[in-house]
A and B are shown apart, each in its own frame.
Chain A
């Protein structure tokens, strides 16, 4: 139980995927202008990352390792993730049109979100078992969502303040992310 807690806490706060591992920076910068959309993006990513952790773990240990095909990992994982995203999009569209309305536009973007492929590869490198892998994948995505929502909250406020001319746009967002990352660094002492 303690180990699972350590994985969850570590993935959300200490080694936050965005602020400390630098995975998923593109959506972090691109979709963090409004709290509502960043929540939607976060939910879609959480769903896909949990599912991707599950599927890629099974593939690694039941298909690639027995056939000594580990060198194909990158190709197989990215293909699986791409088709998984398509599949999820189809299912959600059929099953729940309202959910599709809110998540739909984010789904195609997730394929190129490096957090998804990153978590699949990290699960293998860290030697997690199936349960730990799914927990790690979901917790990492929750950490991603947390960073995204905090960032969106700050950027909404930023609309009303004076920003020096050359810092406008991505530049100031980077500096805010740096300060956020410093703040999250405070959690390092807790473990």
Chain B
């Protein structure tokens, strides 16, 4: 496959959240608002791109038997870096995301790409793959965040959309609303992808 298609497949066709159903914990937990979804998505993408790059560069030196622990150490190193950077430059976002920043380590999207793709592919392809999957993940989280914020508070990115007269569905800002919103969005994506034959 060409580099371009490695990049573009992650955005819709192999979208991590809606198609592969991976990385659900952060998806549900931090998407009370669009900006938190975007922040988490960008942080995860940064780790994914860096770990794909590093693992692809080292793929010929890592012995097959201890590859999984090696991948986890590489990923954990980048997560620690992102954790510290967020803490230093965006403390408000860091506080909002809470324990889900260190938990990027166990996001199955990242280990999944490392095992299934970066450990077997050349550097440029792995970078494109990481960027595409990361972008798709960030897009899904922002979308879910926007839907929940719109229904739960009438705003998107803190901009009031529905006007002062809108009586918000408070439930979409709380944990049950996360499950309901994602379930409904998944059904919608299923419907659209059948209609436009994306399978």
Contacts and interface: CB of A to CB of B under 8 A. Distances in A.
Contacts of B178: 22, 178
B27 to A, nearest CB: 8
Interface residues of A, number: 42
B175 A166 contact: no
Contacts of B99: 118, 121-122, 125
* Chain A contact surface mostly: helix
A117 B105 CA distance: 9
B174 A73 contact: no
Given A172-B183, A178-B176, A74 B25 contact: no
Contacts of A37: none
A68 to B, nearest CB: 15
A24 interface: yes
Interface in B99-113: 99, 102-103, 105-108, 111
B194 interface: yes
Contacts of A179: 176
Contact of B80 (A24, A74, A121, A170): A74
Given A71-B80, A78-B76, A117-B103, A174 B186 contact: yes
A43 interface: no
Interface in B160-181: 171, 174-180
Chain B contact patch, size range: 35 or more
Given A74-B83, A75-B73, A166 B102 contact: no
B25 A26 contact: yes
A102 interface: no
Contact of B180 (A24, A122, A167, A174): A174
19 contacts: A22-B24, A22-B25, A22-B29, A23-B103, A25-B25, A73-B102, A75-B80, A79-B76, A82-B68, A82-B69, A111-B106, A118-B103, A121-B99, A121-B103, A168-B190, A170-B183, A171-B186, A171-B187, A174-B182
Interface of A: 19-26, 29, 71-75, 78-79, 82, 111-114, 117-118, 121-122, 125, 164, 166-168, 170-175, 177-179, 181-182, 185
